[in-house]
Amino acid sequence: MLAVGVLALVGTLQLARPLPLPITHTVLPRSSKVPGVPSPVPWPAQGQGAIAVPALGMVLASGTEQPVPVASLTKIMTAYVVLRDHPLALRTQGPAVTISASDQSEANAEADADDSSVPVQAGEVLSERQLLDGLLVQSANNLADVLARWDAGSVATFVSKMNASAASLGMSETHYVDADGIDARSVSTAADQLRVASAAMAIPSFAAVAAQPTITLPIAGTMTNYVRQVGSDGVVGVKSGFTQAAMGCLVLAAQRQIDGHQVLVMAAVTGQPGVDPLGAAARATMPLIDATAASLQEEPVTPAGGRVATITMPWSSTVVAGTVAGSPSVAVWPGDTVRRSMRWTRLRAGAPAGTKLATMEITGGSEHLSVPVRSAGPIPGPSLAWRLEHF
């Protein structure tokens, strides 16, 4: 009887023991390089040029860049700092700002100097959204200062915030001395301007303002966006700039269809010369966007059929496939590396088909996908004999 009891106890303990882990195998390589060669980029003959695809975290410049005046491109950072400090939900107006007598005097002086401005009156109340409309669409120098003082108490304090934000965005060749870009000592590069523009366009309220072909303000009435391309050929922003020191400067963002997926493509130029510097900037920028889009492609990250992994249980010779539903893909640039990793789930023996086996993490550029991997068939459980035999 003692022997029977011992055997029963051993059997009970054996059946209660945790099962060994499955043998897992990832079918796909951990990394793969995207084939192909990018299309030639038609860099401007003079000045600077840069291209960016925010989804890829990619910024390419025409060459070694030196900081140069960027005129009203400065206002991209002005709007970015304001929206970071005072977030504005879509289709809302935000806080109200009362125009002072000095604000009116500044607007009058800007108009007399033939600088870009929006007329205002002392006591007039404008919302944060209206001020941003005038800042980005009409490039109003006076509204840049109104926003700066509203945000930080003084333009000088606000400019310090601008420079701190530039540093945090990796804009190592940028230094601001004003909020509107009139001062030629506010300098940057085309690549740096794409860094702040990419960050700003990721803010839905900024993107909504920049995408407007026209705006209407109480006193000024209806005004047309200085970026004439907005609203056509997929262009959704963002900002132009001109001074005699800076010449023609432009940052454009456009939506492009890449293998059926919409991708934001951006380009910037500075220092475009000629009798029509802003026109020259536009003629230099659109080819950069189109050439960039021509090189982009959607790279499938799983093979046809979706089989990405296998598992084998130690008690069975049955191989269970791990599959991914659909056809996930990432937007990539020729020469990019697509990386994959697998986070395995604790599995339950005897689980049915469709059980989640793992999560596959996929990275291409700065785009990241988390894709569930599920069993194509049931996961076999161990037999009673196997459990009793394997101590």
Catalytically active residues, by annotation: 72, 75, 139
- Cβ atoms of 280 and 218 within 8 Å: the answer is no
Task: Please write down the HEC assignment for all residues of 150-206.
Answer: HHHCCHHHHHHHHHHHHHHCCCCCCECCCCCCCCCCCEECHHHHHHHHHHHHCCHHH
Looking at residue 145, its amino acid is: D
Question: For residue 10, what are its two tokens?
Answer: 């051993």
Residue 188 contacts residue 170 (beta carbons within 8 Å): no
Residues 6+ apart with CB under 8 A from 118: 107, 134, 138, 140, 142, 143, 217, 219, 220, 223
- Taking CA 109 as the corner, what is the angle to CA 108 and CA 112, rounded to the nearest 5 degrees? 85
From CA 100, how far away is CA 163, in angstroms rounded? 27
Tokens read off for 189? 């590069």
Phi-psi region of 247 (alpha: psi -120 to 50; beta: other; left: phi over 0): left
CB of 269 closer than 8 Å to CB of 48 = yes
Nearest to 139 by CA among 213, 227, 218: 227
Query: 39 with 291: CB under 8 angstroms?
Result: yes
**131-to-94, 257, 315 alpha-carbon distances in Å:** 10, 33, 70
> Nearest Cα to 338, choosing from 373, 372, 302?
302
CA angle at residue 228 from 222 to 229, to 5 degrees? 130
At a CB cut-off of 8 Å and minimum separation 6, what does 152 contact? 158, 160, 161
CA 227/CA 204 separation, integer angstroms: 19
Token pair listed for 379:
């996961």
